[in-house]
């Protein structure tokens, strides 16, 4: 029996993990709390921890988990910016779910975009009140517009395919452009200057943090629509708010927010929101916020559970070799140079 402390559990997590884990002799200790220095202790007696995007897995937490005998950190997400992989090296192995449904995220980005541009959220509220007026609901055609995609990995490429279906011109920026992909790559400056819509699909790193800030917004077209389904830290939210107030940014569709960790995923209605910046953004008529929901489809939840269970099983039964280990030693965290033939350490 492999015991796993499962942090930040939500009701929708349990069925798929129990379905895949129970037949494989896994026992999940479902914990509602997030992982941090204070709650690491709850993993005592477990061989692994399973964590999500807003759990804190810094050096201090890793030290504690290591002292309790935890051998594996299994992320049930693709992004791993919340894990200090360097601090884990030599102590605890780290695995993630590289892809579970890139369609879920790309389709959510499109859903936000269509909702915003065609004012569906406003129309929905109006007709519920039998207000059938169309004033203020004018949108614009996607057809013929230029969309700038930052990050052309799994999600970005699906987003690009969907945009092409609308008849949009697609330009893209990626630090590692894909060869022979048929994608028109441009510099970031060109992307900012030419795009009617900008959608973010790159990871959050030291390099990409606040890549959309005051300077970038100044280079964009007036009325640009910015979509972020990637990570909140990619956007300097204060600069975005200023851009909206200055009528430079036409609309923002945000599934993620830099300070989301203590806010998103919970029902906070009936409470005073202590984040003035988020409150102000939400109060804007041209901002749509969803609370990190882009991944939330049946298919994605099943794939996340299946891959995470397989990751855990590989680690404990396959001499620690797992395709999805985040290999710090290689210096190429996701694309292990040892081709997964041996452990990271």
Place of tokens 């404990």: 316
Minimal distance, residue 202 CB to ligand NAD, in Å: 3
For residue 198, the minimal CB distance to ligand NAD (Å) is: 12
Distance, CA of 146 to chain centre:
24
279-308 residues near ligand NAD, rule: CB under 6 A? 292, 294-295
Q: By C-beta, is 155 or 344 nearer to ligand NAD?
A: 155
* Residue 231 is a catalytic residue: yes
What whole-number distance in Å separates Cα of residue 4 and Cα of residue 126? 47
Q: Do the beta carbons of residue 55 and residue 36 sit within 8 Å?
A: yes
Q: Does 231 bind ligand NAD (CB under 6 A)?
A: yes
Is 181 or 317 the residue whose CB approaches ligand NAD more closely? Answer: 181
Residue nearest to ligand NAD according to CB distances in the complex: 153
Reference 343, options 332, 328, 259; nearest CA is 328
How far is the C-alpha of 199 from the C-alpha of 111, rounded, in Å?
A: 12
**Per CB under 6 A, 335 contacts ligand NAD:** no
The distance of closest approach from Cβ of residue 81 to ligand NAD in the complex, given in angstroms and rounded to an integer, is 7
d(CA 79, CA 104): 15
Binding mask 165-194 for ligand NAD (x = CB under 6 A): --------xxxx------------------
Residues 249-278 contacting ligand NAD, CB under 6 A: 255-256
Q: Residue 96 catalytic?
A: no
Catalytic annotation present for 37: no
154 lies in the site for ligand NAD, by CB under 6 A: yes
Q: How far apart are CA 336 and CA 307, in angstroms?
A: 18
Interaction between residue 232 and ligand NAD (CB under 6 A) = no
Contact 232, 183 (CB under 8 A): no
- Asked if 87 interacts with ligand NAD (CB under 6 A), we say no
What is the number of other CB atoms lying within 10 angstroms of the CB of residue 189? 11
**Which of 305, 304, 292, 298 is CA-nearest to residue 100?**
304
Q: Please give the backbone phi and psi of residue 133, each rounded to the nearest 5 degrees, phi first.
A: -70, 145
* Residue numbers at the binding site for ligand NAD (CB under 6 A): 78-79, 99, 102, 105, 150-156, 173-176, 201-204, 207-208, 229-231, 255-256, 292, 294-295
- Give catalytic residue positions: 231, 260, 292
């Amino acid at each position: 029996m492999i015991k796993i402390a499962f942090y930040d559990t939500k009701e929708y997590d349990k069925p798929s993990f129990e379905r895949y884990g129970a037949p494989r002799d896994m026992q999940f200790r479902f914990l509602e709390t997030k992982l941090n220095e204070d709650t690491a202790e709850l993993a005592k007696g477990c061989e692994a921890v399973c964590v999500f995007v807003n759990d804190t897995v810094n050096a201090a937490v890793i030290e504690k988990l290591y002292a309790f005998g935890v051998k594996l950190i299994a992320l049930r997400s693709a992004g791993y910016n919340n894990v200090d992989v360097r601090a884990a090296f030599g102590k605890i192995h780290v695995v993630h779910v590289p892809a579970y449904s890139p369609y879920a995220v790309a389709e959510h980005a499109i859903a936000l975009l269509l909702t915003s541009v065609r004012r569906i959220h406003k129309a929905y509220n109006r007709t519920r009140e039998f207000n059938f007026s169309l004033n203020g609901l004018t949108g614009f055609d996607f057809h013929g517009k230029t969309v700038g995609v930052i990050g052309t990995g799994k999600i970005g490429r699906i987003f690009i395919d969907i945009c092409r279906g609308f008849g949009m011109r697609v330009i893209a920026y990626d630090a590692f452009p894909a060869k022979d992909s048929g994608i028109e790559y441009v510099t970031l400056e060109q992307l900012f200057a030419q795009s009617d819509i900008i959608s973010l699909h790159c990871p959050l790193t030291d390099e990409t943090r606040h890549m959309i800030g005051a300077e970038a917004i100044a280079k964009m077209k007036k009325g640009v629509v910015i979509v972020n389904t990637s990570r909140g830290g990619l956007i300097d939210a204060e600069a975005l708010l200023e851009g909206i107030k200055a009528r430079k940014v036409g609309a923002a569709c945000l599934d993620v927010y830099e300070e989301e960790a203590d806010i998103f995923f919970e029902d906070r209605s009936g409470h005073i929101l202590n984040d003035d910046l988020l409150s102000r953004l939400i109060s804007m008529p041209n901002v749509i916020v969803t609370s990190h929901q882009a991944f939330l489809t049946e298919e994605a939840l099943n794939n996340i559970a299946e891959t995470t269970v397989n990751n855990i099983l590989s680690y404990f039964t396959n001499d620690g070799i797992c395709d999805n280990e985040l290999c710090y030693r290689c210096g190429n965290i996701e694309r292990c140079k040892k081709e997964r033939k041996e452990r990271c350490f």
